[in-house]
């Protein structure tokens, strides 16, 4: 299983991001755009981890005192790859409440498929929206009008790669409410 922990976007914010992506796609059709049902904020990608490690990640989601995350998405950026610095992944970012950092810290304590734990200080909160296509031309995506909301659910997902893209399966899900612990 290829496992990751994530925060899904709430409905209105997701609709705004999808509309922004549709407008951006017209200017940059060569990018490989993320399917609307796969838009989320990844908290930690674990990779192909054994069942006991999946259980550890699920325990963080269920047992930790986690709160909803307020956000405003207002900027676009990319992660570059290779010596030439070609953009590999385009993403939306912005401002996030302290609850996000408090979620990432315990998830970083769960080892990934290489046995490494994460470094919370290296976490870059983002929503992947596109990947570089065949063209080597870097896209100049315009940032969206600010999109704000509250992410109030955390999920642990399995991602199965198929020829038509990844297929997600929810392994664990929990709603988040202010002032409530896990359980």
The predicted-structure confidence for 93-108, as pLDDT tens digits, reads as follows 999 999 999 999 999 9
Q: How many helices (H) and strands (E) does the chain have?
A: 3, 9
pTM for the predicted model, two decimal places? 0.89
Place of tokens 């989601």: 61
Instruction: Give me the domain span that covers residue 39.
Output: 2-175
pLDDT at 107: 96
Spans of the chain, pLDDT less than 50: 181-183
In-domain check, residue 183? no
The pLDDT of residue 179: 60
Give ∠ CA 15-19-22 in degrees, rounded to 5. 140
Query: Could you tell me the CATH number of the domain that includes residue 127?
Result: 3.90.1140.10
The count of domains in the chain is: 1
Angle at 61 between CA 65 and CA 129, to 5 degrees: 115
User: How many CB atoms within 10 Å of residue 15?
Assistant: 13
Residue 183: per-residue pLDDT: 46
Note whether residue 64 is domain-resident: yes
Containing H/E element for 121? Answer: none
Assigned domain for 182 exists: no
**What does the pLDDT read at residue 138?**
83
Task: Collect all residues with Cβ–Cβ distance below 8 Å to 174 and sequence separation of at least 6.
Answer: 61, 62, 66, 153, 154, 155, 182
Inter-axis angle of helices 98-108 and 51-63, to 10 degrees?
150
Q: What is the pLDDT of residues 58-88, one digit of tens each?
A: 999 998 889 999 999 999 999 988 767 788 8
| Helix ranges (DSSP H) in the chain | 11-27, 51-63, 98-108
54 domain-assigned: yes
């Amino acid at each position: 299983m290829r496992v990751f922990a994530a925060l899904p976007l709430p409905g209105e914010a997701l609709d705004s991001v999808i509309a922004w992506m549709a407008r951006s796609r017209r200017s940059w059709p060569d990018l490989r755009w993320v399917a609307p049902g796969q838009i989320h904020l990844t908290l930690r990608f674990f990779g192909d981890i054994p069942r006991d490690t999946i259980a550890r990640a699920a325990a963080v989601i269920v047992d930790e005192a986690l709160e909803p995350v307020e956000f405003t998405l207002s900027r676009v950026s990319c992660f570059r790859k290779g010596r030439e610095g070609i953009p590999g992944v385009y993403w939306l970012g912005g401002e996030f409440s302290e609850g996000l950092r408090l979620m990432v810290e315990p998830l970083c304590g769960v080892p990934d498929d290489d046995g490494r734990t994460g470094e919370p200080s290296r976490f870059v909160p983002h929503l992947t929206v596109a990947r570089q296509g065949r063209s080597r031309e870097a896209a100049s995506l315009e940032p969206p009008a600010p999109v704000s909301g509250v992410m109030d659910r955390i999920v642990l997902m399995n991602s199965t790669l198929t020829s038509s893209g990844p297929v997600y399966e929810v392994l664990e899900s929990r709603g988040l409410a202010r002032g409530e612990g896990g359980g």
